Amino acid sequence: MINKKKFRLILTDCNSAKTNMAIDKALTLSYKKDDMPILRFYTWENSFTIGLGQNIENYSSLKTIYNDNYSKRITGGGVLFHGHDISYSLLLSNDEFAGLSVKESYERICQFLLQFYKDIGVSPSFAKDSESIQLKKDEFCQVGFEAYDIIVNGNKIGGNAQKRNKKLIFQHGSIPLYKTKEDEKMGISLEDLNINLNFEDAQKKLIKAFEKSFDAQLILSQLTQNENENLKKILEGK
């Protein structure tokens, strides 16, 4: 393990959208510039999230369908559906990618996702590198195509978004494991590609891909006292 970059690895339970996004926010609020980088994996109850710039009042029908199990993310992008996916959140000092643009750091981070897809036997690419993909924005994450969206067999799979401030780079994303229904807003899943992985197996393969891509040593961790205190305040609306 000599010279490997150390990351805290946080594995959280299946939670509501509100709790999952509150944990993301608590981690970013608690993070200090010299802290060990953090990688978190998690799953969801049936729910949906909206981007930072979206208004939940525009999605009242979804609120009803999902019994008010929704949340606003701390990143941008469109509506994303959950419950059939595995997600990650990554926090690291912005010094880690000093000199790289947002797009360059995004591409670098996403290498572990490309490695994951390669490891399970598919050929991923970025949307910007696919001649058949026309880049466009949409209010639903899975319908739009942005430069660094991941494409498999001509289809977008999952979604990722990044946020930066003076102390850190935060990126999170989601990989759909199971097919839910025939709706372009849901996107495709690994099951649609004839790949059957449960959450535990997907998590193990993502960890392996991350360790390889980042030459990382992952140290299993829990939320700290400060992170838990910030989480409690967020959930209580303070």
- pLDDT tens for 42-69 read 999 999 999 999 999 999 999 999 999 9
Helix (H, G, I), strand (E, B) or coil at 235: helix
- pLDDT tens for 114-147 read 999 999 999 999 999 987 888 889 999 998 898 8
* Residue 212 · residue 227 · CB < 8 Å: no
Residue 2: pLDDT band with limits 50, 70, 90: low
Distance of CA 174 to the CA centre of its chain: 4
pTM for the model stands at: 0.94
* Residue 23 · residue 233 · CB < 8 Å: no
The CA distance from 44 to 55, in Å, is 21
| The pair of three-digit structure tokens given for residue 209, joined into one six-digit string | 């891909």
Distances (CA, A) of 183 to 14, 108, 145, 187, 189: 24, 31, 16, 7, 12
- pLDDT tens for 152-195 read 988 999 999 999 988 899 999 999 999 887 788 888 999 999 99
Superfamily name with CATH number, domain 5-98+158-235: Bira Bifunctional Protein; Domain 2 (3.30.930.10)
Secondary structure in 3-state letters for 54-102: CCHHHHHHHHHHCCCCEEECCCCCCEEEECCEEEEEEEEEHHHHCCCCH
Spatial CA neighbour of 150 closest among 172, 124, 131: 124
Distances (CA, A) of 165 to 52, 62, 75, 169: 15, 31, 12, 7
